[in-house]
Chains A and B, each alone.
Chain A
């Protein structure tokens, strides 16, 4: 098979690449535009946001502002503690629930499924106030301990990502051949062993996907952070940068440097975890 593809790129392939390249141009552009503008003085952004930051237009002022007055490393650390914990907890708990909801039928199954869809729809604005009252009662809001404050963000975020994760994983587990689980059962595995030894490893790409998105949404969830992370030593990166960029609605320079600083770690995490998805891919990809 490889032989007859050895020729120059066929028209079909050319068309495929053309489409992919066109789409990637649209996706690269906004990020490149944001990064580009982060190196420009705000006045330059007004006059022409599409010009390259070269020569006189180049400015590190936006970054200097951010690094001068703020402990950005501490904020990154807080962010990674929060979002890492959220992603890990979501992967662990949603996978187990998805497995049961997918493979078992029991009383209340329909209800749980409906609740699952509902859980994805609740706007954060309608749940935040009761959550805040509850957590204030437990003493983890406005606490002198940084750990407690971070926890007050982690817990609601775990819940907030759960429905989405379970729904994605149900779709994944449903596509797995049930024969593998039956074989495991024949060999005497109980429910726990079947899940952790057979199902979980097979779902690894989906687990990673779910983890990436939970991480991403937790990381970007400014609203919850604003309610629970109040003092500087508690700030996560998104709220810190929002604080810098928000006050002056006209200061796009601060905004774009903030966007850049927020995006970079997420892309690093994505690139790092992406290889687990690709691992599955390369096995499954159609070979040329």
Chain B
């Protein structure tokens, strides 16, 4: 059911035809596809080229710069199943690819990184598990995707900027939802909010799409949310896209919803226009003939990290690039109003987080007033003393 297909600009280049270039940089994008249900909203349908379209744009952007410097940037995108992913990785490595962007769940990401070994640099473009930046970190993985902790902290800072301190937490029943709820519990502790009540929304499965389903939702959600302790805000920890979107307007008490549904944290969205992002949106839409999704942006950003490091070091060696990316010299513009760079203690990209209602950028965290001795971006996610990652120590 999962098609394996190539969006390869790279085919002929890999065979080595043509004149020798000064510097050729071939990156791989390996996407692992999992059996998934339809989204609650058809605005969230997964396009076939999810992530890959970002790779094509990033490769074009890198190449536009590379042609002034005698560099050639290429990328090869492969979709795999969890079962076929190791073979797909082996083929990339056999083709000489040493820079690989991976879109996979945490378990598969770790297995692939361990299989690839230290000569290969992996860029994590999707897995948000905080443990990957903590005791499960790997020296050969850099995380372009933010952690759940960063996303929850971004929401928490905005809630507290608003003085919404009393949270009613509703979490899903799947492991990913529980993990997300833990991130919100941690964020509440970190920034001084109180979780006054926690309830679980049981995922009982079933069809995502029924005619006039809203009629039932309108009756069920008030029941789920009635008689909760006095709260300022509902936090929805719904990583599985099961109930978060149903909460706004249907909750028993008239309170804003954040987390999933209502105001939610994203790395990017198709209406973001500040800091020159309009140009990115137009370039992307022209190329992909659809709106950008977070995964596209994250793959674009991962390949831009590689591009920037190659351009500044004039090297395509994974070790040289990794050292540069983790150094103080590295910085990259990412349409977020300030440079992004990497935390040297766990390989996590520091980045602002956008808060959106699905139509607009409502706010951007870190919020005003959250200070840090190193970078205000380090108020989001695991700070150096909080991370148990040892793999990055020399």
Chains A and B form a bound pair: no
Residues of B within 8 A of A (CB): none
A positions within 8 Å CB-CB of B: none
